Structures are given as C-alpha cells and as structure tokens.
Structure 1
Amino acid sequence: MPTKIAVISSLAFRDRLLSIAQEMENIQLEFYIYKMPDETPQLMKQIKPCDVLLLSGTLPYLYAKPLLSDWPIPWTYLKQDEVAISTSILSVLANQNLQLSQLSIDVMNAQHIKNVFNDIQYEGALPFIQEINMERPFDQIYQKHKQLWLNDKIKFVITSIHSVYDALTADEVPAMRMHDPNSSIIHCLEQTMALSKMTKSESARAVVGMLEFSQSTEDDQLVLQQIVEATHASYQKIDDHHFELFTTFGHIQNAFQHHLVESFFNITKDPIKLTFGYGGSILEAQKNARQALNFATPNVVYIMNENKELQGPFPNQPTILSLQTKDPYILQMAKETKLSPLNISKIMAFSVSRQSLQFTAVDLAEYLQVTRRSTERILKKLVEHGYAKVIGEEMSYHQGRPRAIYELNFSTYH
C-alpha cells in the first residue's frame, strides 16, 4: 500500500511537489491549500485519514506548532536551510547579472544567510536582509521590499513568503520565491515516508499487561472484558486473581489518548491493579509488567518501559468518557447522518487507532462491540452523506457475498 501523505502548502508548492513526487514509488499526496500560512491550523481540522502530515515550510509549521504536541499521527516539515538560501542566491546571480548588494531577502533565520557568506569567505557588501517574525505582519515585509526597489537601492527580491511574492510581481517588482532544491524536497519526502513506516513499526511493538484482582467477585469477568476490548488485547489466566494481557504499543497509546482506561475502575468497588510492560521482546515486556506490579497501587495504571523507567500513575486526574460533545463538526455530522455524537466520536477514535486506512464492517463492528448488521447501517449512512466511501471488496474463500472495503472521507483528528 502507498504511504498516504497529507500536505499543507501553497498552490505554487503543490504544483512543484506533484512534478517531483511522480518520480517516486508508493506515495500518495493529499493536498490542503492555503492562501496565507496562518490558515494552517484550520486546514489541519479538515485532514482526512492519512499516514503522515507534511507541512511545506517553516511558516506553516510555526502556525501549526501549538496543535502538534497532541497530533495523533506523525508529522514533519520542510525546513528552510543554508542550501535553499545559497541555491536561490546563486540562481539570481547567474541569471540576473546582479551584485549581492542589489538584493533584498527575507528569511526565517538571518543567521543562515550569514553562515552562507562565512562558508564562501565573502567580505563584500551584503544584501538587505529581513528576518521573518510571526508577530510582524507580512505586509510590512512586502512594503519594505517595495520601498527599497522604489528608492532604487535594490534590483531584485528573494522572498520566503508566497503572498509577498504575489504582491511584488503584481506591482512589477522583480522577485523570486526562495527555491528549495529538488534534492532537498526528495530527501524530505523520503524522510516523511520513513517516519510513517517507523511509527507504524513502533505502534506494532508488543506490550504485556498484568491485571490483579484483590479478590474474586462477579465483576471480575466484566472488568477483564472491558480492558481486553479497550486495548484490543488477548489474555491468559494465571490464577483466580491474575490475568496476563497481550497487545501492542499503538493500542495502549490509543486507549490512554481517548480516555478508555479510566472506566475500568468504575465497574467494581473492589481494588484492581493494572500494569503494562514495554520491551524489545515479549519476554522482556512480560518481565517489566510483572516488575511494575510490585510498585502498583489500586485503581491506577503503571507502565514499566524498556529502560526500566516506571511511569504513572495514569490517569492523574480520572475522567469519564462523556456521552455529549460540543464539537460543532461532530454535531453537524450527527445531524446529517442521524447517528449519535458518541458513535461518530468512536468512529473517529477507531480511525486514529488503526495502522491501515482501509477497513471492513467486521473491523468496525469488533471495535464498536455491536453487531455487523448495526455497523453496516452506520456505514450506509456515512456513505450516503459522503463521509465514507467503498473502495473495493475483500477476496473471500468462503461462501457468501464479498465484504466491502471502506475508507473514511472526513477529518478524524478533532
């Protein structure tokens, strides 16, 4: 399956990236285009299920930064560096027959330009340099470039901001966009694909859990089943009070992220101890989980990682998964599809928890813990309103109709 990359970029960068990416295999680009980079946070809310997010430059990255700490999939961005700056300056000098002192340049970090000149031991007159500041309106940068040109102090502008380039060219001020070399873009795409694969590999790491009941009660089986479902685990019974769970790192992270762990402790009044162990092998993870159990306190979760670091207790402030939501996006979907906001939230969590973007009704039914018929009714409503689409059929070696393969068609990263 190709790596599906969501790209937030300008229209000009999209065209360039498409021309470069067509030479690469196993890559699928989905674009979210801004007119101004400050639109990036809003575009992030529109991203449909994908493997990894690529921000096309430092500016969209800086606008996205407050959201990235909680972003559920891997992300990266194309950094402006000395290579892009030196390539752009060389292009102007070679094609425009100008002196460096006749240029005006805006960059994310002025030190990068100084590094370029230091590397080539240049000691002549410098170009006019503007360092981009997030607090400074882009129009001020544009006006500074234009004023230098009107005063005949410069002959050409190199800008890192696409909207500034558009404004300058509209005023017939000679200008070019900062030029990222093809090799840098290819390298960035390769790194983005590698990041996606590495994250999937990390998510598939084996995790072992230890569940200890203080005494046998009628609620034990219900608690065990809830934990197994929330963490997508298999289990084995050690004795009447101890069970061993087997799952993956990705499923554990998803359970914590979507507050699926807290509800375990509300089922019974009797104390429960729950720990998880991470490791390079199942045996190591098993050993760490058992060691963590020695430090565990009732009704919270502790984790022992491969570095023998005890993490916890989780959660620090217990919360219960709300049956209501104030998210207008989810409420609008619920109104259109006649599905409950809770079901839509669960479908979003289902999407984020999976490594594959494609799924069957059986996959979703197992996650929602409802019948296949109920799941097919949910999917029918999503398809009818354009929130999901059928992309194929699963080959079947048994009698009966083939299973449809679905892909969600709405943003699940809320």
Structure 2
Amino acid sequence: MSTKIAVICSKAFMKRINSIAQNIKNIQIDFYLYNQPTEAPVLLKEMKPCDALLFGGTLPYLHAQSVLSELPIPWNYIKQDETAISTTLLSLIANQGIPLNRVSIDVMNPVFVENVLTEIEYSGTKPFIQPISITKSTQSILQQHVALWNAKSIDFVITSIHSVFDELQALQIPAMRMLDATNSIIQCLEETKSQSLLTKSESFKAVVGLLEIPENNPLDNYILTKITTATHSTYKQVTPYSFELFTTAGHLQKALEKENLQNLMQQIEKPFKLAFGYGHSIFEACQNAKNALTFAKPCEIYILDEHKNLLGPFPKSEVRLALKTDDPYVLQMAKQTSLSPLNISKIIHFSRERQSAQFTSHNLTEYLQVTRRTTERIIKKLVDNGYAKVVGEEMTHQQGRPRTIYELNFAIY
C-alpha cells in the first residue's frame, strides 16, 4: 500500500519534487500550492485525508508551526542547510562566473553561508546576505535585492523564495532559485514516509487494560460502557469485580491526549484501579498490564509499554520510569545499594521534578507512595554508599524531633 503525502509548496517547487518522487517506491503525492508562504496555514484546512504532511521549505513550515500540534498525522519539512547553499554557489560560479562579492543572497540562517565560506577557505569580500524570517515580509526582502541592484552593488541574486524569484525575473534582474540537492529531497521524502509507517505501526500495537473494583462496591454497566467507548475497546468480565479491556495504542493515546479518559475517571465516585499494557501480542500486553496494575493506587491509571517503561499515574502526572535498564551506571548503583533499578529510576525522577535539590524522608515517602519505614531504609542505603548526604535539619513544629534534610550525591541528568 502506498503512503499518501500532502505537500505544501510553491508551483515551481512542485515540478522539482514531482520529478524526484518518481524514484521513490510506494508514495503518492498530493500538492497544495501557495503563491506566498504565509498561505500555508490556510492550505492546511484544505488538506484531504493523507498519511503525512511535507512542507517544501522552512518558511511555510514556520508560518504553520503553531497549528501543527493539532494534526493527527506526522509532518516534516525540507530544511535549508549548508549542502543547498554550497550546491547553489558552485552552480553560480561554474555557470555564471560571477564573483561572490557581487551577489545578494537571502537565506533562512546566515550562519550557513558563513560556514560554507569558512569550509572552502574563502578570504575575499563576502556576498550581501539577507536573513529570512516570518516577521519580515517577502516584499521587503525583494526591495533589499532591488536596492542593491539599482545601486550597482551586485550583478546577481540568489533567492530562497520562489515569489521573489518571479518578481526579479519580471524586473529583468539576473537571479536564480536556491538549489535543494536531489539527495536531500529524496532523504526528506523517505524520512516522511518512514514517519508515517512508524506512526501506523505504533497506533495498531495491541493494548490490554485491567480494571479492578472493590468487591463491596460494584461498577454499574453505564460506567463500564463509558470507559470502553472512550478507549474504543471491547471487554471481557474475568470476575464479578475485574474486567479485561482490549484496544490499540492509537485509540488509548487519543483518549489520553483529549483527556476523555482522565475526565471520566474523575467523575467515578467509586474507587477503582486501572492499568494498561502495550505489547507485540495480546499475551505480552496482558502481562505488562498485570505488572502495571501492581503500581496503581485507587483512582489512578498506569501504563507499562513493551520496553518496560512505566507511564503514569494519570491524571495526576505523566512520569516515565524504566522498569528495565541497560544503563551500567544505574546497574552499578543497584548492585552497591541493594536497591532495585526501578527504585533508583523513581528517585532520579523525584529529584528531577523538584524545584529544590534538598528533600526530607517525608517528601520522598509521598512521592514513592510507600511506608515511612521503607523510605528510611532506602535513604540509609543511599547515604551509606555515598549516593546521598545529610545537609541539615528542619523544625516544622514546636514539639517533636526535627526532620533531617538530605541531598542526592550522584548525577541525575
């Protein structure tokens, strides 16, 4: 099955992409053409169903950037880089024989031109460089080129904006478009196609959910129907107080992104536990769901993916914890302290989320959701092995013992 890619670009660039796309198997291109890059956000609303979106340059992408998060499909854009600039300058020198100091060039990032000139060890007078940005109109960039031409300061213009090229041609000012290397465009098309295939693959991944409710407080069918509708899942009743849900990663992700599931959970007045597992098979997903359920507290949702990353708890936060790690540093810590890699991962995330580097055992107990005695054992192992240190005390009440203040003594980033 071919991947349908919507391309937002100029008419001139359409011809370039069309000739190149013929060399790539299993892609179909739908073009949405603009006269000015500022029209890109409007063209987004005209797009028909497709698998991915590609912008024919950085400028149209920047104009549409603020609304891209709403798209359910992956997107990409053809980036201007040193390769495009060096290819264009080489073409200019070989075919026009014009010295660089007699050229005006507009680019997204002037540093790229500087980098190319440095790489070729160019020591002469540099070309006139006009930076492009979404805050500067294409008309003002055109006027800068024209002013240099009228002042007889240049003999040629290189432009990254197709509408500017057309107007320069109409004014009979010698000009050429920036040349995007064929390999760069092929790579971008292949990358966009791969993003689409990966998104589809991830979306169809098997997901099993486990829902548990107290035996003395059964869940009515209306609530169960709302949960299965929100997650687009089917269900099987395992016991009178537990259910298995079957859906896909794509459906669950949408339910979480739109907060449909979190909002529904907050409306349920009865305590419950809900966990989901991802997997490459129903069996693997079910095992991961069972493991995730052991972390779930009442009215919380956890997810364990196929890489043993624990996500949650929803709706309070979205913490990613690795239950499996190959990091030799974490494994060495686990070996020295006799703590599990999971606990070390939790402590690292605890420290990253805090505004202060200092903490008390009470702070850590609340985060880990364990008993105070368990937390004190964990802290003692960290201190004994030099991974934490005592830095002070705090008196929170007039009576009672002061709380010890700790600070972690290892890298967490």
> Normalising by structure 2, what TM-score?
0.70
Computed over aligned residues only, the root mean square deviation of the Cα atoms, in angstroms, reads 2.3
Correspondence for 2:366: none
Q: Deviations over 1:75-128 (max 9, x none)?
A: 111010111111111111111121111111111111111111222222222111
Shift of 1:302: 2.9
Contact 2:7 2:54 in 1 (8 A): yes
DSSP 3-state at the match of 2:70: coil
Runs of at least 4 residues off by over 6 Å: none
Contact 2:296 2:313 in 1 (8 A): no
Correspondence for 1:235: 235
DSSP 3-state at the match of 1:69: helix
Correspondence for 1:392: none
Correspondence for 1:86: 86
> Normalising by structure 1, what TM-score?
0.70
After alignment, is 194-203 or 305-314 more displaced? 305-314
Matches within 5 A, 1:198-213: 198-213=198-213
Q: Deviations over 1:255-297 (max 9, x none)?
A: 2334442564488643332222235655554344233333434
Correspondence for 1:176: 176
2:283 counterpart of 1:310: no
Contact 1:110 1:131 in 2 (8 A): yes
Instruction: Tell me, in whole angstroms, the C-alpha distance in 1 between the residues paired with 2:73 and 2:258.
Output: 14
**Counterpart residue type for residue 108 of structure 2:** M
Between structure 1 and structure 2, the one with the greater Rg is 2
Matches within 5 A, 1:222-261: 222-261=222-261
Higher relative contact order (Cα pairs below 8 Å, separated by 6+ residues):
1
Contact 1:233 1:246 in 2 (8 A): yes
The percentage of aligned residue pairs carrying the same residue is 50
After alignment, is 97-106 or 222-231 more displaced? 222-231
Instruction: Tell me, in whole angstroms, the C-alpha distance in 1 between the residues paired with 2:80 and 2:270.
Output: 57
**Counterpart residue type for residue 49 of structure 2:** P
Q: Deviations over 1:300-328 (max 9, x none)?
A: 53323434333232277xxxxxxxxxxxx
DSSP 3-state at the match of 1:7: strand
Contact 1:302 1:312 in 2 (8 A): yes
Shift of 1:38: 1.4
The alpha-carbon distance between structure 1 residues 145 and 307, as it changes in their structure 2 partners (threshold 3 A), is farther
Correspondence for 1:17: 17
2:155 counterpart of 1:155: yes
Q: How many pairs does the alignment contain?
A: 316
Instruction: Tell me, in whole angstroms, the C-alpha distance in 2 between the residues paired with 1:30 and 1:277.
Output: 37
The alpha-carbon distance between structure 1 residues 144 and 263, as it changes in their structure 2 partners (threshold 3 A), is closer
Any unmatched runs of 5+ in structure 2? 318-413
**Counterpart residue type for residue 313 of structure 1:** F
**Counterpart residue type for residue 291 of structure 1:** N
Instruction: Tell me, in whole angstroms, the C-alpha distance in 1 between the residues paired with 2:82 and 2:284.
Output: 44
DSSP 3-state at the match of 2:246: strand
DSSP 3-state at the match of 1:277: strand
Any unmatched runs of 5+ in structure 1? 317-414
**Counterpart residue type for residue 83 of structure 2:** V
Correspondence for 1:350: none
Instruction: Tell me, in whole angstroms, the C-alpha distance in 2 between the residues paired with 1:216 and 1:251.
Output: 31
Q: Deviations over 1:154-175 (max 9, x none)?
A: 1110011122212211111111
Instruction: Tell me, in whole angstroms, the C-alpha distance in 1 between the residues paired with 2:24 and 2:268.
Output: 55
Contact 2:302 2:310 in 1 (8 A): no
Correspondence for 1:68: 68
Matches within 5 A, 1:14-413: 14-215=14-215, 219-262=219-262, 264-265=264-265, 269-279=269-279, 282-305=282-305, 306-314=307-315
Shift of 1:53: 0.6
Contact 2:104 2:145 in 1 (8 A): yes
The alpha-carbon distance between structure 1 residues 246 and 216, as it changes in their structure 2 partners (threshold 3 A), is farther
**Counterpart residue type for residue 301 of structure 2:** V
